Amino acid sequence: MSSPILKLIAQRIALGILLLLAISVLIFAGTQILPGDVAQAILGQSATPESLANLREQLGLNDPAYVRYFHWLGGVLTGDLGTAMSSGQDIATSIKGRLWNTLFLAFWAAIVAVPLAIILGLIAVRYRNGWVDKLISGLALASTSFPEFFVGYLLVYFFAVHWQIFPAISTVYDGMPFGERMQAIALPAAALTLVVLAHMMRMTRAAILNVMQSAYVETAELKGLSAFSVIRKHAFPNAIAPIINVVMLNLAYLIVGVVVVEVIFVYPGMGQYLVDHVTKRDVPVVQAVGLIFAAVYISLNIIADIAAIVANPRLRHPK
C-alpha cells in the first residue's frame, strides 16, 4: 500500500542529497574565485616569499582545485570542517555551540509563530472580508513591512528600556539555567515571530479560501456544521500542503536569515559568526557555514515535500 509513497519520499531525499553536493561545489568554487591569497592573508604584508611558499605547500594550496575540493568534502563528511584561519580554532567545535544557539532561538520563535499564524489565518477566513479579517491582515502586513532592525529596536525601546521586562542584550552561555535563557531570547524571538507571521498567515488564509469554493465545503455547511468547524474539519485538511510549504520556508528563514536580529541583540548565533568571519575573509568558516545553511534549507524543503505527499490521501491510499 505504501510503496508509491516510499518511492516518492526516497526520490525527494536522493534529490536533496544531489542538490546539496551541487551546492558544495558551488560554495567551494565561489570561495576560490574570490580575489586574494589565503597564505598572504594569514601571514600579512611582511611575509617573505619563502614563508608564503611554505605555507601554501602546508595548506595544500598548490594542489589542483578538484583535489582540494575532494579533500574538503571528505573532511566535511567525517565531521572535520577545517580550522579557522583567523583564530586557528577548530571550526566544527566553535560552530556547534553557535548552531545550537541559533536552533534554540529558531525553535522558540517557531513554536510561537507557526500556530499563531495558522490560527490567525483560520480566524481571518472565518470572518473573511469583515473587520476582523482586515485587522488581522493589516497588523500582520505592517509587522512584516517594518524592517527587522526597526521591529527589534522598537521591542528594545519598550520592553528593555521603558518597562525593563526583558534584557536588551541576549547574552547566553553554556550551563545557563533554562528560565534565564528563555528570558534572554524573549525579545529576539518576538522580533522574529513578528517578521515571519504575516507570510504564513496570509498563505494559510489564501490556501483555505481557495478550498472554501469546493463543493464539499457546501456539503459540510448543509450538514449544519458551524462556520468554524467547516473551516477546521473540511477546508484546512485540504489546504495543508501549501501551508506546510510556506511554513518550512519561514522556518528556514528563522535559521539562516536571522543575521540582523542576532546583531541587534548581540546573540551568539550562526549569523553573527558568519558575518564576523566574512569580514575577516576567513574562507574555511564561510564555506562551512554556507554548507550548513544550504543543508538546513534543503532538509526543511524536503520535509515540506514529504509532508505534502503524506497529506495527500490519493497517494496515501491508492486505488
Partner 1 sequence: MANGMAKSTPLLDIRNLRIEATVYPPGEAPKTITLVHDVSLTLEKGKVLGLIGESGAGKSTIGLSSMGYGRGGVRITGGEVILNGRDILKGGKEGFRKLRGREVCYVAQSAAAAFNPAHRLMDQVVEATLLHGTATRAEAEKRAIALFKKLSLPNPETIGERFPHQVSGGQLQRVMTAMALCSEPDLIVFDEPTTALDVTTQIDVLAAIKDAIRDTHVAALYITHDLAVVAQVSDEIMVLRHGRLVEWGGTRQIIKEPRQEYTNALVSVHEIEHQEQNPGATPFLSVKNVTAAYGGGQVKVLKNVSVDIYPGQTLAVVGESGSGKSTLARAITGLLPPEQGTVTFDGRPLANRLADRPKEDLRQLQMIYQMADVAMNPRQTVGTIIGRPLEFYFGIRGRERDRRVAELLDEIEMGKGFIDRYPAELSGGQKQRVCIARSLAAKPKLIICDEVTSALDPLVANGILKLLLNLQEHEKVAYLFITHDLATVKSIADSIAVMYRGEVVRYGSKSKVLTPPFDAYTDLLLSSVPEMEIGWLEKAIKGRRMASAGN
Give the binding site for partner 1 (CB under 8 A): 214-216, 218-226, 234, 237-238, 313-314, 317, 319
> What is the nearest approach in angstroms of partner 1 to the Cβ of residue 317?
5
Q: Whose Cβ is closer to partner 1: residue 80's or residue 221's?
A: 221
Cα angle for residues 46, 47, 49 (degrees, 5° grid): 135
To partner 1, the closest distance from the beta carbon of 215 in angstroms equals 4
- Residue 83 or 312: the one with the smaller Cβ distance to partner 1 is 312
- Closer residue to partner 1 (CB): 30 or 313: 313
| In the complex, least distance from residue 236 CB atom to partner 1, rounded to whole angstroms | 9
Residue 191 beta carbon to partner 1: minimum distance, rounded to whole angstroms: 36
The C-alpha atoms of residue 201 and residue 217 are separated, in whole angstroms, by: 21
Give dist(CA 81, CA 74) in Å, integer: 9
Of 218 and 276, nearer to partner 1 (C-beta) is 218
Among 228, 43, 222, which residue's Cα sits nearest to residue 121? Answer: 228
Of 129 and 279, CB closest to partner 1? 129
Question: What region does 82 belong to: left with phi over 0, alpha with psi -120 to 50, or beta?
Answer: left
CA separation for the pair 149, 49 (Å, rounded): 46
Residue 195 in 3-state DSSP?
A: helix
**Positive/negative CA dihedral, 181, 186, 187, 188:** positive
Q: What are 83's strand-pairing partners?
A: 90
The residue among 62 and 229 lying less far from partner 1, judged by its C-beta, is 229
- Cell of residue 50, nine digits: 619563502
| Closer Cβ to partner 1, 161 or 227, answer by number | 227
Q: How far is the CB of 21 from partner 1 (least distance, A)?
A: 30
Residue 173 has which C-alpha cell?
A: 552561555
125 within 8 A of 209, measured Cβ to Cβ: yes
What is the smallest separation between the CB atom of 192 and partner 1, expressed in angstroms?
A: 32
Nearest to 289 by CA among 21, 9, 94: 94
Closest separation in Å from C-beta 230 to partner 1: 10
Q: Is the dihedral angle over the CA atoms 296, 299, 305, 309 positive or is it negative?
A: negative
**294 contacts 252 by C-beta, under 8 angstroms:** no
